[in-house]
Chain A
Amino acid sequence: MNDHLELLRTPLYHRHLERKARMVEFGGWEMPVQYSGVIQEHLAVRERAGMFDVSHMGEFMISGSQALEFLQFSTVNDVSKLKPGRAHYNMLPNSSGGLVDDIYVYCLGLNRYLMVVNASNIEKDFNHLWGLKNDFDVNLENQSEHWALIAVQGPATQTLLELHCTEVLSARKKNSVFDTTLFGYSVCMARTGYTGEDGFEIFCAPIDAPDLWDKLLGLKIEPSGLGARDTLRLEAGYPLYGHEWSDNTNPLETNLKWAVKEYKEFVGRDAMVNAEKTRALVGIQVLGRGIPREGYPVKLAGRVVGHCTSGTMSPSLKLGIALAYVEIDLEMGTRVDLEIRGMDVSAQIVEAVFVSRNAPGQ
């Protein structure tokens, strides 16, 4: 365990050890990859409710008289559409039309926004935003250490939490964000997540996180690790930074291009819009036996036409699924071969959504 000495730990670290979670390094953090097993945790989220410690993710507070103008310039989605109490999926573009990170933006009030970023990109994102803010009257604060974050996801989440929350949760639609009290603790809750299921993300004080976690365990909400989080987002067709996303990714080549509002001015817009689009992010469904993995070639009549960026055995569908970048002119339904350890296995190009009840809202 020597190589874990330098890793960061969330306020729930000891809770994970007590439940004998398998801990792994992720983005500089020591995080639970599974507790009871990836399949059980995955199905708990699809069928009832599971919860994830996502306290490692970064939170930036952005405020000041030009907070909105700053976010309009530094992100691709239209933040002017966000009223207080609303949130949306968004991205930080770089000046060459690629991607610094994909993010979520929560409007907490007039000119007051919370931005949630990937754990492994906290420093990079903060430095990037800091470098853009000179021209704006804006305060940018890295509050990542001030927040613990628990994501409760699954179709039963609202029913389970409603009894213990002072808010009428049924009145809070997807992508809403609000301050409330849960089990007596002051929290900020948002009806967001990255699993393809309904659910709430609970921002709380780090000191309150272990007791809140215990209260949620008392509701028989399944503690779930990064393993299930990855299979859930993959079934939902959501890209993950480091796999589908990188500094060189053009978001307009992906299934989340709806988040890019070309009508507004933002960092790198012209480079992004004018770049030649040669590939598209699609789903791959295996028809034969085999499990796709990152890097496996996708072939059409013996010619390599793309590569998988993430792959797994889908716990919901019980078959191999993947996300892959392929040549842009390939149509949905095209039969292809997936090269698995030197052998060609029959597969099909499909929309990059394998299971979806709750796609990210626009």
Chain B
Amino acid sequence: MNIPTNLQYLKSHEYLRLEGDIATVGITDFAQDQLGDVVFVELPAVGKVLKQGDNAAVVESVKTASDIYSPVSGEVIEVNSSLIEEPENINADPYGKGFLFKVRISSQPTGLLDAAAYQEVAESEA
């Protein structure tokens, strides 16, 4: 299970990569593995203002639909529209080509997990 140490996490299996005031959001390697084949993604509109914890996107596998929560507050500045045609990129490369959206943060996120803490969460659910 790949849990990069340079990212921050939510218990609900989203990751956040913070570079300056730009945050990249996606689901973790553990989450994509648990979901199985991803076949559908619903992304937020560019320009949408999210609060930390808001329901921001939906990722669907063959069997089930999962709500994706924003780990951070701010404005959506980019969505990964390649996922509309190639949702399987979430399975193949969750931290790269399979990211969901990017946010310009309006405040520093609080209460996120580091890699070690997230690993404990994932292991308890495995």
- Where the two chains meet, the residues of A that have a C-beta atom closer than 8 Å to any C-beta of B are 22, 33-34, 37-39, 42, 227, 230-231, 289-291, 293, 312-313, 315, 341
Chain A nearest CB from B59 CB (Å) reads 11
Is B46 interfacial (CB-CB < 8 Å)?
no
Task: Tell me the interface secondary structure of chain A in the complex.
Answer: mixed
Does B36 contact A37, Cβ atoms closer than 8 Å?
A: yes
**Most chain B CB neighbours (cut-off 10 Å) among A22, A39, A42:** A39
Among residues of B, the one whose C-beta sits closest to the C-beta of A38 is B62
By size class, the interface of chain B is: 10 to 19
Given contacts A291-B65, A293-B65, contact A313 B36 (CB under 8 A): no
* CB < 8 Å A-B pair total: 38
Residues in B neighbouring A34, C-beta threshold 8 A: 36
Q: Which residues of B contact A291 (CB under 8 A)?
A: 39-40, 60, 65
Which of B39, B42, B84 is the one whose CB lies under 8 Å from A313?
A: B39
Residues of B46-85 at the interface with A, using a CB-CB cut-off of 8 Å, are: 58, 60-65, 84
- Could you say which of B34, B42, B58, B62 contacts A312, with CB atoms under 8 Å apart? B62
A174 to chain B, nearest CB (A): 28
Complex-state Cα separation, A231 to B64, whole angstroms? 12
A37 to B37, CA, bound (A): 6
Task: Say how far A32's CB is from chain B's closest CB, in angstroms.
Answer: 12
Contact: A341 with B63, CB < 8 Å? no
Report the nearest B residue to A39, measured CB to CB: B37
Nearest CB in chain A: distance from B89 CB, A: 15
| Residues of B contacting A313 in the complex (Cβ-Cβ under 8 angstroms) | 39-40, 60, 62
Most B C-beta atoms less than 10 A away, residue of A34, A289, A291: A291
Contact A315 B62 (CB under 8 A): yes
**Which residues, 1 to 60 on B, are CB-close (under 8 Å) to A?**
34, 36-37, 39-40, 42, 58, 60
Tell me the bound Cα distance from A227 to B36 in angstroms: 10
Which chain B residue has the least Cβ–Cβ distance from A226?
B63
Q: Which residues of chain B are within 8 angstroms of A227 by Cβ–Cβ distance?
A: 36, 62-63
Whether the Cβ atoms of A231 and B58 lie closer than 8 Å is no
How near does chain B come to A296, taking the closest CB pair, in angstroms?
Answer: 10
Quote the shortest CB–CB distance from A14 to chain B (angstroms): 19
B63 touches A38 (CB 8 A): yes
Bound Cα distance from A231 to B39, whole angstroms: 13
Provide the bound-state CA to CA distance between A290 and B39, in Å: 10
Complex Cα gap A315–B36 (Å): 13
Known: A33-B63, A38-B36. 16 other contacts (CB 8 A): A22-B34, A22-B36, A39-B37, A39-B39, A39-B62, A42-B62, A227-B62, A231-B62, A290-B40, A291-B39, A291-B60, A312-B63, A313-B39, A313-B40, A341-B42, A341-B58
Q: Which residues of A contact B58 (CB under 8 A)?
A: 341
A46 CB → nearest B CB, Å: 14
CA–CA, A362 and B103, complex, Å: 58
Q: How far is the CA of A312 from the CA of B61 in the complex (A)?
A: 9
Give, as a whole number of angstroms, the nearest-CB distance from B102 to chain A.
22
**Chain A nearest CB: distance from B31 CB in Å?**
13
- Distance A37 CA – B61 CA, assembled complex (angstroms): 10
Q: With a CB–CB cut-off of 8 A, which chain B residues contact A293?
A: 64-65
A103, chain B: closest CB distance, angstroms: 25
Which residues of A are found within 8 Å of B37, using beta-carbon distances? 37-39
Q: Which 4 A-B pairs have the closest CB atoms?
A: A313-B39, A38-B62, A39-B37, A37-B37
> A315 to chain B: which residues have CB within 8 Å?
62
Q: List 20 A-B contacts (CB under 8 A).
A: A22-B36, A37-B36, A37-B37, A38-B36, A38-B61, A38-B62, A38-B63, A39-B37, A42-B62, A227-B36, A227-B62, A290-B40, A291-B39, A293-B64, A293-B65, A313-B39, A313-B60, A315-B62, A341-B42, A341-B58
